Amino acid sequence: MTAIKTDSLKDLMAVVNSADIGLVIFDKHYHIRVWNLFMVNHSGLKAESLMGKTLFEQFPDIKAQWFEGKAQQCIAQKQKLLSTWEEQSYLFKFKNSRSKAKSVVFMYQNITFIPLTSANGEVDNFAITINDVTDIAASTQQLDAVVSEYSHNNSKDS
């Protein structure tokens, strides 16, 4: 199979914007460089209004110490780093807009930190992807509640 080559930034951005995941690219100082359509749709903020601004200026409720620790670990190790909804329910407090679990108010998110290495081998930028895992989180929580109740009822019978 032959790979199709494209040098078109327009084509690349079309793919990035059609993906059903959030994508944000930052420089080392947390200035926003890319904000894809998923992020626009869920935050209500246009990419143009965020370019060059820091994450923490625009989203002061984000736990800066936690985020910086993850980003610095990703950059220093030059490896992807996953943070699941079980570690922290969400990074961006987006409303639950598509989950079957209507009782869940906010979108649960898995976040992947990705180092972006330049031609000289240094990590000058990093990206994060945001995956909506609300259905998985809600199902897991429901299952945990059923198991807990079952265990509790069985311990009373003994």
Tens digit of pLDDT per residue, the chain (158 long)? 555 555 677 787 788 778 889 999 999 999 999 999 999 999 999 999 999 999 999 999 999 999 999 999 999 999 999 999 999 999 999 998 765 766 788 999 999 999 999 889 999 999 999 999 998 888 876 765 555 655 555 666 55
In a domain, 153, yes or no: yes
Of residues 58, 11, 63, 20, the one with CA closest to residue 39 = 20
The CATH code of the domain that includes 81 is 3.30.450.20
In a domain, 5, yes or no: no
In a domain, 6, yes or no: no
DSSP letters along 30-52, please?
-BEEEE-HHHHHHH---HHHHTT
DSSP tag of 106: B
- Domain residue limits at 28: 13-157
What is the total count of domains within the chain? 1
In a domain, 39, yes or no: yes
Give the residues across from 83 on adjacent strands.
Answer: 111
In a domain, 3, yes or no: no
In a domain, 87, yes or no: yes
In a domain, 1, yes or no: no
In a domain, 88, yes or no: yes
H/E stretch holding 55? helix 55-58
